[in-house]
Chain A
Amino acid sequence: MHTLPAVEGFMYPNEMELQWSVLIVLYPFLTGLVAGAFILASLQRVFKVQAVAPTYRLSLLTALAFLLVAPLPLQLHLGHPERSFEMFLTPHRSSAMAMFGFVYLWYLLAVLVIEIWLEYRPYLVGRARATTGATRLFYRALTLGSENLSPRSLEIDDRVGRFVTVIGIPSAFLLHGYVGFIFGSVKANPWWSTPLMPIVFLFSAIVSGIAAVLLIYLFYTWAKRIPLDMPCLDTMAKYLYYAFLVDFALELLDLVHRVYEADESFHTLDFMVKTRLYGSQLVGQIFLGTLVPLGMLALTQLVALSERARKGLYAGAAALTLVGIFLMRWNVVIGGQLFSKSFLGYTTYKMEFATREGLLPAILVMLLPLAVLWALVRLLPPMAATPPETEAR
Chain B
Amino acid sequence: MSVDRRQFLADTTKLLLLTGAASRAWAFVEQGRPQDAPGYDVHRHWWAMFIDIEKCIGCGLCVDACKVENDVPPEAHYSRTWVERYHVPDRDPLDPLAEPQPRVDSPDGGRHGFPEIYPPGTGGKSFFVPKLCNHCAHSPCVQVCPVGATFESPDGVVLVDKDYCVGCRYCVQACPYGCRYIDPRTQTVDKCTLCYHRITRGLTTACCEVCPTGARQFGDLKNPRDPIHDLLRAHKVQVLKPQMATGSKVYYAGLDAAVR
Chain A contacts to B: CB under 8 angstroms? 4, 9-17, 19-20, 74, 77-81, 83-84, 86-87, 90-92, 94-98, 100, 182, 185-189, 336-337, 340-345
Pick from B131, B165, B173: contact of A79, CB below 8 A.
B165
Among A87, A96, A341, contact of B177 (Cβ-Cβ < 8 Å): A341
Contact B147 A90 (CB under 8 A): yes
Q: For B109, what are the chain A residues with a Cβ–Cβ distance below 8 Å?
A: 13
Query: Which residues on A sit within 8 Å (CB–CB) of B147?
Result: 83, 86-87, 90-92, 95, 98
Chain A hits for B178, CB < 8 A? 11-15, 340-342
Is residue B168 within 8 Å, beta carbon to beta carbon, of the partner chain?
yes
Q: Are A344 and B102 in contact (CB under 8 A)?
A: yes
Of A19, A86, A98, A344, which is within 8 A of B260 by CB?
A344
Given known pairs A92-B145, A95-B144, A187-B140, the reply for A20 and B104 (CB within 8 Å) is: no
Check A10 against B144 for contact (C-beta < 8 Å).
no
Closest to B84 in A: A10
- CB-CB under 8 A for A95 and B146, given A14-B172, A79-B166: yes
Of the candidate stretches B19-27, B34-42, B46-54, B181-189, the one touching chain A is B181-189
* Contact of A83 with B164 at beta-carbon distance under 8 Å, contacts A92-B145, A92-B147, A186-B173 already known: yes
**B173 near A187 (CB under 8 angstroms)?**
no
In the complex with contacts A12-B131, A92-B148, A96-B144, A188-B175 CB distance below 8 A:
yes
Verify B177–A78 contact, CB threshold 8 A.
no
Additional pairs, 10, CB under 8 Å, beyond known A13-B178, A79-B186, A341-B177? A10-B104, A15-B178, A16-B77, A19-B173, A80-B167, A83-B147, A87-B166, A92-B145, A92-B146, A341-B260
Given contacts A77-B168, A187-B244, contact A95 B143 (CB under 8 A): yes
CA distance A339 to B219 in the complex (A): 34
Counting chain B CB atoms within 10 Å of each CB, the highest count among A4, A19, A182, A337 belongs to A19
A345 CB contacts on chain B under 8 angstroms = 104
Contact indicator B146/A19 (Cβ below 8 Å): no
Closest residue of chain B to A7 (Cβ to Cβ) is: B77
Known contacts A16-B77, A79-B182; decide if A188 and B143 are in contact (CB<8 Å). no
Docked pose: A4 CA to B102 CA in angstroms: 24
**Are A78 and B144 closer than 8 Å at their CB atoms?**
no
Please, what's the 1-or-0 string for B177-205, where 1 marks a CB less than 8 Å from any CB in chain A?
11111100011100000000000000000
Answer whether residue B76 sits at the interface, using C-beta atoms and an 8 A cutoff.
yes
14 sample A-B contacts, Cβ–Cβ < 8 Å, listed by A number: A11-B178, A14-B180, A79-B186, A91-B146, A91-B147, A92-B146, A95-B143, A186-B174, A188-B175, A341-B177, A341-B178, A342-B178, A344-B102, A345-B104
Chain A contacts for B104, CB-based, 8 A:
9-10, 342, 344-345
- Does B165 lie within 8 Å of A98, measured CB to CB? no
- The answer for the CA separation of A16 and B75 in the assembled complex, in Å, is 11
Chain A nearest CB from B193 CB (Å) reads 15
Interface string of B9-28 (1 = CB under 8 A from A): 00000000000000000000
- Looking at B77, B105, B176, the one whose CB has the most chain A CB atoms below 10 A away is B77
Contact present for A13 and B79 (CB under 8 Å): yes
| CB interface residues, B 152-173, toward A, < 8 Å | 164-170, 172-173
Smallest distance from the beta carbon of B185 to chain A beta carbons, Å?
Answer: 11
* Shortest CB distance A349–B (Å): 14
A17-B180 Cα distance, complex, nearest whole Å: 12
* Nearest-Cβ distance from residue B162 to partner chain A, whole angstroms: 10
A86-B166, A344-B104 given as contacts; is B144 within 8 A of A186 (CB)? yes
Shortest C-beta distance, B108 to chain A (Å), equals 9
Q: Which residues of A contact B186 (CB under 8 A)?
A: 79
Return the chain B residue nearest A344 by Cβ. Answer: B104
State which size class the interface on B falls in.
35 or more
Q: Are B173 and A80 in contact (CB under 8 A)?
A: no
Cβ contact within 8 Å between A341 and B176: yes
Which residue of the partner chain A has the closest CB to B147?
A86
B143 contacts A13, C-beta separation under 8 Å: no
Do A189 and B79 touch (CB < 8 A)? no
> For residue B167, which residues in chain A have a CB less than 8 angstroms away from its CB?
78-80
**A87 — nearest CB in chain B belongs to which residue?**
B146
Chain B nearest CB from A382 CB (Å) reads 36
Confirm or deny: B82 has a beta carbon within 8 angstroms of a beta carbon on chain A: yes
Q: Which residues of B contact A340 (CB under 8 A)?
A: 178
List residues 68-116 of chain B with CB under 8 A from any CB of chain A. 76-79, 82, 84, 102-106, 109
In the assembled complex, the Cα of A14 lies from the Cα of B173 at a distance in Å of 11
**In the complex, A87 Cα to B148 Cα: how many Å?**
9
What's the nearest-Cβ distance from chain B to residue A308, in Å? 48
A187 and B176 within 8 A (CB): yes
Chain A residues with CB under 8 A of B146: 87, 91-92, 95, 97-98, 100
Q: Report how far A19 CA is from B103 CA in the complex, Å.
A: 25
- Asked, given contacts A19-B169, A97-B168, whether A13 binds B174 with beta carbons under 8 Å apart, the answer is no
Question: Cα distance A255–B173 when bound, in Å?
Answer: 22
- For residue B49, give the distance in angstroms from its CB to the closest CB of chain A: 18
Shortest 3 CB-CB distances between A and B: which pairs?
A79-B167, A12-B178, A79-B187
User: B180 contacts which chain A residues (CB < 8 A)?
Assistant: 14
Contact status B170-A95, CB under 8 Å: yes
Chain A residue numbers with a CB within 8 Å of B169 are 19-20, 79
State A20–B173 Cα separation when bound (angstroms).
Answer: 9
Q: How far is the CB of A179 from chain B (nearest CB, A)?
A: 13
Chain A neighbourhood of B165, CB < 8 A: 79-80, 83
The listed residue (A12, A78, A186, A342) touching B168 by CB distance below 8 A is: A78
